[in-house]
Structure 1
Amino acid sequence: MVNTPIDEYALLSDRHSAALVSRSGMVDWLCFPRFDSPSVLAALLDDQAGTWCLRPTHEGPVSRHYLDDTLVLCTEFSTPTGTVAVTDALSTGRCDNPHRLGSGSPHLLVRSVTCTEGTAEVTTDFRPRPEYGRVVPLLSECDGGMIARGGPAVLALSSPVPLVLDEHADAAHGTAHLRAGETLHFGLHWGPMTGPAPRVWSQEELAEQLGCTVDAWRYWSREHQDYRGEWEKEINLSGRVLQGLGYQPSGAIVAAPTTSLPEEVGGERNWDYRYAWVRDAAFTMDALWVAGCPDEAEEFLRFMTDAAATGWTRSHLQIMYGIGGEHDLTERRLDHLEGWRGSRPVRVGNGAWDQPQTDVYGEFLDTAYRYAHEFDDAGPELRDFAVSLADAAAELWDVPDHGLWEMRGEPRHFLYSKLMCWVALDRALKLSDRLGPAARIDTWRQVREEIRAAILTRGWSEEAGAYTQAFGYPELDASNLQLAITGFLPADDPRMLATIDAIGERLTDERGMVYRYHTTSGVDGLSGDEGTFLLCTFWLAQAQALAGRTGQARETFARAASHANDLGLLAEEADPHTGRMLGNFPQAFSHIGLVNAAWTITRAEQGVRDADPSLSPVPDHRHVPA
């Protein structure tokens, strides 16, 4: 059974695909050539589903870090005879344009091992298992490495040391003795079975690919990351993680690079997050406004406009798309995989793709408003798309849906969905001078006020003493913190304060971490429980800051941020009993929450009323005093 804790892993990204590398030097998750491609290494989900190990034969203490301003990982191993550093990167290729990081990706994983002191023996063990472990490829020796054939792709392993095949020719092993100052470079290159064949790379070529990847990430960081102030390190790392979750060819952004890491150990709440949710991607763009550079907005807006191009009728805006713009994301189970810590089923695809969720109109238009300047040079397609979304929000706001948490129970009148329809119309009205004559200003204004009245009357529960998850129900939901964050209500409104207090007191675990909602209500149609949700805890910190409770906000923020691993990476959830990571990893939502909460707290302490940047779409004021 797979028992490696989620927080033991590090993320590598070339902005096409992702790999997870453990502290012990195991690459236990790798998908080529896209984030959502079938894995070639998946020991993260089953011991028999493929891994690649590179580490000292005799291990000791381990430390690791990302090279400055990159997602290139350095893991330092101490051994009885010396020290070894393993540097891992998914090659981005050369980058002469900071807006095109990853455009030259050769689909190559580079691993370099250096003896930094004394002497050390290093071991490599290569066990590829394509198609989520269904394929056991045949390995054959070639000059400078191994070729793995089986399934729809071919893999070429570059190795500077002789490799020995096991008796079934489906795994290869090798060892080398290094002295201080000596370096060896390894590489894993992917290619399609019917296209250009992958090849073995020379030591000089691998060193060059590693170097240009370091340079490319630093170039992007230098040109894009200008946030200065408190939590600068955390915010800039989150910006790089969010950039690393972007699919460069299309501008799509994945919610996470993994599938089926569970929300409860041994439970069924295991989902594939390797797709482009409208909601998650819009939130990512909002956070990149603070942590990165607004230039990514053009790619995102173009992707969404193109992906949804089916006549732009209200019924065709999906909540998510494939990263290449695909619409059909039909879910299936991989029953041959045991799952992380026995958490089954393992799923690929996502059955929520065709759910009606009306909040997506507001999330997209909120982001579009923040990047309003993009409309100045855009063609009519973007303007027409924005108008169609506002019209859809006006028409559909009072229709029950499945909500932002993608409930698999019966549709309800979720308050958050109504709120985001209000946001859609509010932001469309603020964009009306850029939307042209198609803007239906009078209708949008009228419906916006109807939604406001409905939320204020039907959304409040006397029984709960708070705004609640759905009209007519007493259950709390952390998403109602967005009433303050979006500017629908002042955070110091008495009912808003009551809602903040209710969530902080009754929707938290004993450590003060916030649940999305209580699963015992049965509203989500699933069995079992889940962990506390990091994004929701950051939302609580944000709302507390907006209410002027900056001391409370700092404490809440610190609780959530403490769940980062040693590299600063955050998963989706935390186990309420142990505090360990749960859910897909690293999670865009969690890094988004960190960025926005840190920004809001800082601005609130400066006395700035519009602490959330969604209320101020000028993308050039991210510098704050230390």
Structure 2
Amino acid sequence: MAFTQIEDYGVIGNLETCPLIGNDGSIDWCCFPHIESSSVFAGILDDDGGGHFAIQPSGEFESAQEYVTRTNVLRTTFETDSGTMTLTDFMPVVDGVELGHTTSAIYRKVTCTEGTIELDATFEPRFDYDRVGTTVEQTSEGVIARGNGEQLYLWSPADFESSEGEEEHAEATETLRADETMWFVLQYNDREPIDAADCAALLRETIDYWQDWTHQCLDASGCPFEGPYHDDVIRSGLVLRLLMNPQTHAIAAAPTTSLPEEVGGVRNWDYRYAWIRDVSYTIQALNELGHEREARNGFDWCLTMCHKDDPGEIGHPLYGLHYPPEMVEEELDHFSGYRHSKPVRIGNAAGDQQQLDTYGELITAIYTATDYGEEIFAGEWEVIEEVIDHVSGVWTNKDKGIWEVRSEPKHVVHSKALCWAALDRGIKIAEDNDFDAPIDRWKGERDTIRETVLEEGFDEELGCFTQTFEGETVDAAALRLGSVGLLPFDDDRMQSTIDAVMDHLMTDEGLVMRYEGDDGLPGEEGAFVLCSYWLVECLALSGRVEEAHDVFESATEHLSPIGLFAEEIDPETGEHRGNFPQAFSHIGLINAVLYLNQAEPGETLDPIGRGATEITTDSKS
């Protein structure tokens, strides 16, 4: 079994977990029952022992994937010399799923649409990241696999034969003729009776669910995403929905772990957690897409974060999708890694880092939600006020920053700017709602932060805001000083920062790297998709519309064939790198289209829903 390119995977899900299916028909990543659970298939991380469940033609074939329109139902079409076969993969999602009533099952429908097809089905599960023994045995209706106190029940009319030994698995070879269909249903820790009619009905219900949920463009004033990238926005919204937990309302950064930022490198991280900044960015995107309920869920999750006993904990950037989190980071030495990129990690030590920007992301998210109509009640304000007041006392500290470097903490410019944003939005919430708060003191701290950032964070020689007060590093995160409103976009320093990012961090292909310089880790990484969309946002809001469109098109042309994005793009090969699909990347695309559609050449605009206090400035203030 050879490794499949990251961009050649599709993703399905039931709002609890997200299997990845290659364009060769193989499920190479699946965790049950949740995204953050241990894997039952991990072939994407070890092509020999990770486990997979493949359905594909027996001989040579060509294949292509697509989604059923406006759904997360995946269709793979195989062309062979003898005929054509369509594989339809989905997990049931029906009304009531928001209450947690899901079915942990993968449905796979195989149809011969032309000629004759001989297909092979290979079922090779490996429980708990292949750290425990797995047994596979035949039943009268299919196959049962057991291990780690769990079981997978594969129902199918196909004639499976199990193979015992060190690598237990089951195989079947079947022949289908034109218009013949065969179902394969994989149930986790369940064994409900199934027939083909039930399968077909669930497929129809699942398609209806997704098509009813997705963005409808019903606003009489016109769709804010109207234009050539409308379908890409729709797909990005569907990706975000897959990553939203229906019980806790947390949003997973990605459904995978350890897909490398560099093939053969060590920058391999577990992203099956909820980052505060992901939720912050998502609230605006969801509201503009018309998904008010999901945006409200994000708002509720932010309020939950504020209710932590110790506001200092909020400086930790990531949390478990189901409380409490498991932050212990460990390495799976027995896995070879994607394309032999080791180590394979589960858990994420960044959960213990101090990242001060998370305070700004949290309070900005809450303020943005109120801009879209959410209300903050007096009891909620008490805990929000405590968080804001905490910021006024810790913003002078060093931290790890948004990029979670594994070197010593520093005075990170982006972190200081987001602390400014926390106080700024906190002042506005208090004033808008007539809440009691030490507003005069907060205003003093807010102004001090701004003065410090302008004095210590801008490098005259480079002509831009830098990564830290200590160094001369160009960092794409400095673009967000304009996005959060610390400076208006027509300020000379913001314009020169935009130019510096384009000069120092943009590749020949028009993609944007995160930053220059050493970050304490060996190896390199790809261009960071979200950074390209940050640049689009800044150019659009600056009235530099033609440049914004150029950068947007350079980034968006790297979408996978079915409209998905990993975290990064290899600037030399164009291949996807990092975990996949990545919430950050898809949020960036949605918001970039939003700003592009509002931009006017030569006219500076304010970010939507980011309501910073209006600043009067000149080039020296």
TM-score normalized by the length of structure 2: 0.93
Distance in 2 (alpha carbons) for counterparts of 1:610 and 1:596: 14
Q: How does 1:95-134 map to 2 (within 5 A)?
A: 95=95, 100-101=97-98, 103-134=100-131
Query: Which moved further from structure 2: 126-135 or 426-435?
Result: 426-435
Shift of 1:170: 1.6
Shift of 1:391: 1.2
The residue that corresponds to 2:14 in the other structure is 14
CA 383–504 in structure 1, closer or farther in 2 if over 3 Å, else same: same
Contact kept in structure 1, 2:526 and 2:577, CA below 8 Å: yes
Query: Which moved further from structure 2: 595-604 or 33-42?
Result: 595-604
Contact kept in structure 2, 1:185 and 1:207, CA below 8 Å: no
Contact kept in structure 2, 1:2 and 1:45, CA below 8 Å: no
Shift of 1:185: 1.2
Contact kept in structure 2, 1:59 and 1:77, CA below 8 Å: no
Q: Which runs of 5 or more structure 1 residues have no equivalent in the other structure? A: 192-196, 618-626
Q: How does 1:455-466 map to 2 (within 5 A)?
A: 455-466=453-464
The residue that corresponds to 1:571 in the other structure is 566
Shift of 1:285: 2.2
The residue that corresponds to 1:282 in the other structure is 280
Q: How does 1:375-390 map to 2 (within 5 A)?
A: 380-390=378-388
Shift of 1:153: 1.0
Deviation string 1:353-412 (CA, Å, 9 cap, x unpaired) is 011111011111111111116886555553233222211221111111000001111111
Deviation string 1:329-348 (CA, Å, 9 cap, x unpaired) is 11111111110011111001
Counterpart AA for 1:203: A
Contact kept in structure 1, 2:372 and 2:609, CA below 8 Å: no
Shift of 1:306: 3.2
For residue 127 of structure 2, give the secondary structure of its aligned residue in structure 1.
Answer: coil
Deviation string 1:214-273 (CA, Å, 9 cap, x unpaired) is 111112115698744022111111111111111112101000110000111111111000
For residue 109 of structure 2, give the secondary structure of its aligned residue in structure 1.
Answer: strand
Shift of 1:292: 4.5
Q: How does 1:40-119 map to 2 (within 5 A)?
A: 40-47=40-47, 48-92=49-93, 94-95=94-95, 100-101=97-98, 103-119=100-116
The residue that corresponds to 1:219 in the other structure is 212
Contact kept in structure 2, 1:432 and 1:439, CA below 8 Å: yes
The residue that corresponds to 1:251 in the other structure is 249
The residue that corresponds to 2:607 in the other structure is 612
The residue that corresponds to 1:194 in the other structure is none
Tell me whether 1:201 sits opposite 2:202 in the alignment: no
Shift of 1:200: 5.3
Shift of 1:509: 2.3
The residue that corresponds to 1:551 in the other structure is 546
For residue 77 of structure 1, give the secondary structure of its aligned residue in structure 2.
Answer: strand
Deviation string 1:393-441 (CA, Å, 9 cap, x unpaired) is 2111111100000111111110000110111111112211466544322
Q: How does 1:492-507 map to 2 (within 5 A)?
A: 492-507=490-505
The residue that corresponds to 1:333 in the other structure is 331
Distance in 2 (alpha carbons) for counterparts of 1:224 and 1:348: 40
The residue that corresponds to 1:527 in the other structure is 522
Deviation string 1:150-207 (CA, Å, 9 cap, x unpaired) is 113111011121101124382111122222222111111111xxxxx44453222222
Distance in 1 (alpha carbons) for counterparts of 2:607 and 2:305: 29
Shift of 1:307: 5.0
Query: Which moved further from structure 2: 238-247 or 101-110?
Result: 101-110
Distance in 2 (alpha carbons) for counterparts of 1:248 and 1:63: 31
The residue that corresponds to 2:269 in the other structure is 271
CA 60–253 in structure 1, closer or farther in 2 if over 3 Å, else same: same
Match of 1:484 among 482, 485, 491: 482
Contact kept in structure 2, 1:262 and 1:343, CA below 8 Å: yes
Counterpart AA for 1:216: Y
Shift of 1:139: 1.4
Distance in 1 (alpha carbons) for counterparts of 2:215 and 2:451: 47
Contact kept in structure 2, 1:78 and 1:84, CA below 8 Å: yes
Counterpart AA for 1:605: E
Shift of 1:315: 4.1
The residue that corresponds to 1:150 in the other structure is 147
Contact kept in structure 1, 2:299 and 2:369, CA below 8 Å: no
Shift of 1:314: 2.9
Shift of 1:445: 1.4
Q: How does 1:173-572 map to 2 (within 5 A)?
A: 173-191=171-189, 197-199=190-192, 201-221=194-214, 227=223, 228-230=225-227, 231-306=229-304, 309-315=307-313, 317-372=315-370, 380-433=378-431, 437-518=435-516, 521-522=517-518, 524-572=519-567
Counterpart AA for 1:87: T
Shift of 1:473: 1.4
Q: Which runs of 5 or more structure 2 residues have no equivalent in the other structure? A: 613-621
Distance in 1 (alpha carbons) for counterparts of 2:593 and 2:231: 11
Distance in 2 (alpha carbons) for counterparts of 1:380 and 1:261: 44
Distance in 1 (alpha carbons) for counterparts of 2:390 and 2:597: 36
Contact kept in structure 1, 2:154 and 2:187, CA below 8 Å: yes
For residue 27 of structure 1, give the secondary structure of its aligned residue in structure 2.
Answer: strand
CA 2–614 in structure 1, closer or farther in 2 if over 3 Å, else same: farther
Distance in 1 (alpha carbons) for counterparts of 2:172 and 2:321: 37
For residue 252 of structure 1, give the secondary structure of its aligned residue in structure 2.
Answer: coil
CA 328–177 in structure 1, closer or farther in 2 if over 3 Å, else same: closer
The residue that corresponds to 1:3 in the other structure is 3
Distance in 2 (alpha carbons) for counterparts of 1:469 and 1:311: 31
Deviation string 1:536-587 (CA, Å, 9 cap, x unpaired) is 1111111111111111111101111111110010010111221211000011
Contact kept in structure 2, 1:533 and 1:572, CA below 8 Å: yes
Query: Which moved further from structure 2: 307-316 or 456-465?
Result: 307-316
Distance in 2 (alpha carbons) for counterparts of 1:35 and 1:362: 27
Shift of 1:313: 2.8
Distance in 2 (alpha carbons) for counterparts of 1:17 and 1:124: 23
Contact kept in structure 1, 2:18 and 2:31, CA below 8 Å: yes
Distance in 1 (alpha carbons) for counterparts of 2:312 and 2:258: 31
Distance in 2 (alpha carbons) for counterparts of 1:376 and 1:612: 19
Distance in 1 (alpha carbons) for counterparts of 2:544 and 2:260: 34
Counterpart AA for 1:453: E
Query: Which moved further from structure 2: 17-26 or 424-433?
Result: 424-433
The residue that corresponds to 2:23 in the other structure is 23
Counterpart AA for 2:41: L
CA 135–547 in structure 1, closer or farther in 2 if over 3 Å, else same: same
Contact kept in structure 2, 1:189 and 1:198, CA below 8 Å: yes
Contact kept in structure 2, 1:186 and 1:206, CA below 8 Å: no
CA 132–280 in structure 1, closer or farther in 2 if over 3 Å, else same: same
Counterpart AA for 1:211: R
CA 203–326 in structure 1, closer or farther in 2 if over 3 Å, else same: same
Distance in 2 (alpha carbons) for counterparts of 1:442 and 1:216: 50
Distance in 2 (alpha carbons) for counterparts of 1:307 and 1:597: 27
Shift of 1:284: 2.1
Tell me whether 1:599 sits opposite 2:590 in the alignment: no
Instruction: Give the total of aligned pairs.
Output: 605
Counterpart AA for 1:81: S
Shift of 1:276: 0.5
